[in-house]
A and B are shown apart, each in its own frame.
Chain A
Amino acid sequence: MEILMIITVGVLVTVATYLLLSKSMLRVIIGVMILSHGAHLMLLSLAGLKEGSPPLLGEEAASYADPLPQALILTAIVIGFGITAFMLVLAYRTYKAHKTDNLDELRGTKDD
C-alpha cells in the first residue's frame, strides 16, 4: 500500500511541475493545488499507514492509528484552501489589469 501511495505522490508532483512551468496563470494555480495534494498525501504515507482502530478513548483495540498526521493535514488543507482562493482573486485582478493571462507577457519590462 505504501508503494502505491508513494507512486501516486510521484505522479501528482510530476503533473504539478508540468503545470507550474506552463504559461497560463490558471494552469499555474492548478499546479500549486496539485502540488499541495501531493505534499499532503506524502505526509500521510510517510507517517506510516498503520492498521488499527480510530484513536478514540474507551475503545478496546490492540492498536490505534496515529492521529497526528491527520491533524497536520487538516491544518495544511485549510491553509492551502485559503491561499488558493487568494491566488484565484489575484490572478483575476491581474488579468483585468493587464488584459492577458500569459505569464510570458507579464515578465519584468521597461515599464517598471
Chain B
Amino acid sequence: MTNLVILPILIPLLIGVLLIFFKNHKSIQRVSSVLAVTAMIIASGYLLYIVYNNGIQVIELGAWPAPFGIVLVADLLAASLVFLASILALVCLFFAYQTFSAERERNYFHPFFLFLMLGVNGSFLTGDLFNLFVFFEVMLISSFILISMGAKKYQLRESFKYVVINTVSSMFFIIAVAYIYGAVGTLNMADIASRVGELEQAGVLTVIGVVFLFVFGTKSAIFPLYYWLPHSYFAPPAAIAALFGGLLTKVGVYTLLRTYTLMFNQDTAIFQILLIIGGLTMFIGVLGAVSQFDFKRILAVHIVSQVGYMIMGIGIFTPLAIAGVFFFLVHNIVVKSALFLYAGIAEKITGTSHLKEMSGLLKTHPYVGWLFFIAAISLAGIPPLSGFFGKFALIVAGFEAGHYFVIAVSLITGVLTLFSMMKIFMTSFWGEVKIPNPNFKDVKVTKLILPTLPLIFLTIALGVAAEPFIQFSLLIGEQLMNPSEYIDSVLKE
C-alpha cells in the first residue's frame, strides 16, 4: 500500500485537469469536485490510519532510491494535516456553492480550487526541497488566480502586490536551494539532515536557515513580513478567504516546523531569534486587529497574531512545545476558517462588512450570532474549547524552558484577542437592529450555516475530548524532535 501516499496529490490533479474540459457544465463540475475532495478525505484518512499503526510511509517516485530520486514522505504530522486540509476543502466547497455567482464558477473556479489543494497536499507530503518549491508554486499560482478572480478594482490592485511579493520570495527560495545544494550537495531533506553533522562549517547552515526563514516567513506572514496579508485576504469572497486564511499561511508554518526540526537544529541562536520574532508577531498582529473596524479585516490581521504563537512554539523547541504548535495549528485551521465563513454570512445578510454600519444581527439571525460566538471565544482561548488547550501546552512548555517574558506577551495577546473578538460581537450582533441592506429579509442563511457546522463541531470536540488529541500531539512532538526515525525510513538504513 505504499502508493497510498501519492493519492492526495493525484486525485485533485487528475480531476482538476479533466474539469478544464467541462467549462460550461455546472453540475458536472460541482459533482466531480465534491467527489474528488471526498475521495481525498477518504484516502488521507486511511493514510493517517496506516501511518499511525505502521509508522512512516515513503514512496520513491520512479523507483529511484532515496537520495537520488524524489520521495514523498507521510509521517504523522504530514498525514494529519493533509486529512484536515481535505475536510476544510469540502466545507469551503459547499459554502462556495451557496454564495458564488454562476459566472465565477464558469471561469475555472473548480480546476484551480483542486490545483490549490494539490499544491497544499504536495507541500505537506514532499521530502525534497526543490519539490517543495514546485508544490509551493503550484499552490501560489492557483491562489493568485483565485484571489484575482472576479476582477473588481480593489481585487486587481491588491492581487498585483500579492503576486509580486510572493514571486520575489519564491526567487529567494531558489537562491536558498542553490545555497544548500552548494553546501551539502543534496536536496533530499532526510539526506541533508543526516549530513549536517559532518559539515565542517556549521555557520553556513545558519545562513541558509535564515534565508529559509525569510522565504517561509513571507508565506506565513511573520513579523516584519506580514505587510501583504491584511489587504490581500480582504479581497476575495468568503469561501476563498476562509480557505486561504485557514491553510496558506499554515503551509508556511508547517515548512518552518519541518525544516527547523529536521535540518537547521544545530544552532541554538536561531531559536532565540524565532522566539523574539514570535513574540513580536503576535503582539503587533493583535494590536493591528484591535485598531481595525471591519469584520473581515480584523480576522485577517488576527491570522498574523495566531502565527506568532506557532513561531513562539518552534522557538521554545521542546517536545511539549512542538506538540502545542501542532495542536494550535489544527485548532487555528478549523476556527479561523469558521470565522471567515461567518464574516461572509454577515456580509451576505447586511451587504457590508464594516462594523459601524451594522448591529443587532442577534435578533434577526440568532443562530449565526451564537455559532460565531463559539468560534470567537475558541479563538480567544476560553477553556472548554480547543483554543485553550493549544495555548496551555505552549505556555507550560515556555515555563518549563524558562522563557517568562514571551509567555507574558502571549497572555497579554490572549486578552487583546478576546477584546477584539468581543468588539465584533458587541457592535455587529448586539444592540438595535440596523442593517443597511434593504432586502435582508429575503436572505436565506440556513444553507449557509450548514457547511460551517463541522468546523464548530471540531473545535468543540477538540476541546471537550482534549486528552486523546493532546496525546496524539505529544506523539508528533516526539517524532519531530527525534528526526532519526524520519531519516531512517527515507534512507532505508
Contacts and interface: CB of A to CB of B under 8 A. Distances in A.
B234 interface: yes
Contacts of B144: 83, 86, 90
Contacts of A42: 174-175, 178
Q: Which of B148, B156, B159 counts the most chain A CB atoms within 10 A? A: B156
B160 A43 contact: no
List the 8 closest pairs (A to B, CB-CB), nearest first: A46-B182, A43-B178, A39-B174, A94-B156, A46-B178, A39-B171, A79-B137, A35-B171
Contacts of B167: 32, 36, 83, 87
A76 interface: yes
Provide the main secondary structure of the chain A interface: helix
Given A46-B182, A87-B167, 14 more contacts: A28-B164, A32-B164, A35-B168, A39-B172, A39-B178, A40-B174, A43-B181, A48-B182, A72-B177, A72-B181, A83-B141, A90-B163, A94-B157, A98-B153
B171 A90 contact: no
B408 interface: no
30 contacts: A28-B164, A32-B168, A36-B167, A36-B171, A36-B174, A39-B178, A43-B175, A43-B178, A46-B181, A47-B178, A47-B182, A69-B181, A75-B130, A76-B174, A79-B137, A83-B137, A83-B141, A83-B163, A83-B167, A86-B144, A86-B145, A87-B163, A87-B164, A87-B167, A90-B144, A91-B160, A97-B153, A98-B153, A98-B157, A112-B234
Nearest to B231: A108
A21 to B, nearest CB: 11
A32 B170 CA distance: 10
A86 B182 CA distance: 31
B151 A43 contact: no
Contacts of A106: 157, 160
A75 B231 CA distance: 31
Given A82-B141, A97-B156, A43 B234 contact: no
B218 to A, nearest CB: 14
Contacts of B199: none
Interface in B121-152: 130, 133-134, 137, 141, 144-145, 148, 151
Interface residues of A, number: 35
B472 interface: no
A47 to B, nearest CB: 5
B52 interface: no
B97 interface: no
Nearest to A87: B163
Contacts of B145: 86
A24 B177 CA distance: 30
Nearest to A83: B167
B177 A43 contact: yes
Contact of A46 (B157, B179, B231): B179
A75 B178 contact: no
A110 B148 CA distance: 20
B157 A20 contact: no
Interface string A38-55: 111011001110000000
A93 interface: yes
B160 A94 contact: yes
A59 interface: no
Nearest to B163: A87
